[in-house]
Amino acid sequence: MAALRTALHGRLVPALPLSFGSLRNASSFKASDLVIERNAACKPKPDPSTLVFGKQFSDHMLTINWSAKAGWEAPRIKPFQNLSLHPATSALHYSIELFEGMKAFRGVDNHIRMFRPMLNMARMHRSAERSSLPLFEKEELLECIKKLVEVDQEWVPFSQDASLYIRPTFIGTDPSLGVSHPSEAMIFVIVGPVGPYFSTGSFNPVSLLADPSFVRAWKGGVGAYKMGGNYGPTIAVQNEAVKRGCQQVLWLYGEQEEITEVGTMNLFIYWTNEKGEKELLTPPLDGIILPGVTRQSLLDLARTWGEFKVTERTMGMKELLGALDSGKILEVFGAGTACVVSPVGSLLYGEKKYEIPTMQNGPDLAKRFHKELTDIQVSAGPPREGGAPPREGSGLLVAAAEEPAGRCPQVGATRDDMRVMRKKFMLMHHPH
């Protein structure tokens, strides 16, 4: 398990080899310069059992401005508020922007942790370079984000079924209609409590539409970067999937109809290959696949277990359907920060619906991945030797205080109510 903790804590997704000459500045902003303005009127926190994805936001936000003339300004945590943008802002016209998606979890020990955040920082840095946005020190941004979560720590749900979603965003803000390097830019980070990503729940199977007439990304494009332009155009295809009785889209690419991603998730296939071996297969990072943090974590887990073959290679629809017909497919599932692991139950291709036996097979592997990841995220599991923390894949963020200490209490509660909620949460996981 020590090797697993090391793998999940330290292994980085390889950087893509291209360099686009992003706006480099000799000095980054510094977390030590962070200015904090606390919100005087905090909002009531929602009941964790009522949470949906991306509809609730905390009391504060982080902003960091940059200009070609003055460089990076000091980071600021301030009350959550609307942005004021010029109508000619380049992000609005030419999609000079990018974003990330991360989570913070309240552990069974009442500590708050983030899961492999440096992977997100590295990916954000690569996206900034591809977007011609100014570069920054990844560690400095992460320290600022940690401080934002600490300030809004009462927004981290007291629940293992919910978490605090963290959305860093980076936009070009120069007021110009010219298509060029931005001369002004801003990083902003907002956070909010979230429940399951899919309305069907956290571990119910989804149905997929596979239609080769729709393409999400292509070689030489920006499919490997987390930019809004990769997501907006997929909404119409998602609506088409719903019209045809499906919940998500299986994105195909090229003449061989290579399977690439599932909706906004990376795709995994667990099957018995041509040699009779149990194998976990996922498409390779070939420029059209987003290098997901959860994707990398599942690969790290599987390779640490050493119980079956783990392969990154392309698979076309012909091979997939042939494996389904011959009974070789055991489980198909998507993986991502928002959903963690999402099993796939059926596939609509052409006019034919193919049943995928994911749920009939447990799904043993998908459930195992889900449990391992969520246990690591909330530091659950049997005590370790010497009293060490159960698992350390997430990276300690902040230890929640016994008292709110002037912070805004959860669900509009009094401090006494807050203590009761914490005790209930702890008793759920430490009944003795």
Q: What is the mean pLDDT of each run of 10 residues along the chain (432 residues)?
A: 47 36 67 97 91 93 98 98 98 98 91 94 98 98 98 93 95 96 98 79 86 96 97 97 97 97 97 98 97 97 98 98 98 92 96 97 95 86 40 48 48 46 54 51
Domain topology for 206-362: D-amino Acid Aminotransferase; Chain A, domain 2 (3.20.10)
- pLDDT score of 331: 98
- pLDDT score of 175: 96
- pLDDT score of 203: 76
- pLDDT score of 265: 96
- pLDDT score of 201: 56
Question: Domain 2-194 maps to which CATH number in 3.40.50.300, 3.30.470.10, 3.90.870.10, 3.40.47.10?
Answer: 3.30.470.10
What single-letter amino acid sits at 297?
S
- pLDDT score of 9: 44
Burial of 27 (0-12, 13-18, 19+ CB in 10 A): exposed
Every domain of the chain and the residues it spans:
2-194, 206-362
- pLDDT score of 108: 84
CA 283, CA 286: separation in Å to the nearest integer? Answer: 8
- pLDDT score of 420: 55
**Cross-strand partners of 121:** none
Specify whether the CB–CB gap between 182 and 135 falls below 8 A: no
- pLDDT score of 402: 46
- pLDDT score of 383: 42
CA 127, CA 125: separation in Å to the nearest integer? Answer: 5
What single-letter amino acid sits at 306?
G
- pLDDT score of 226: 98
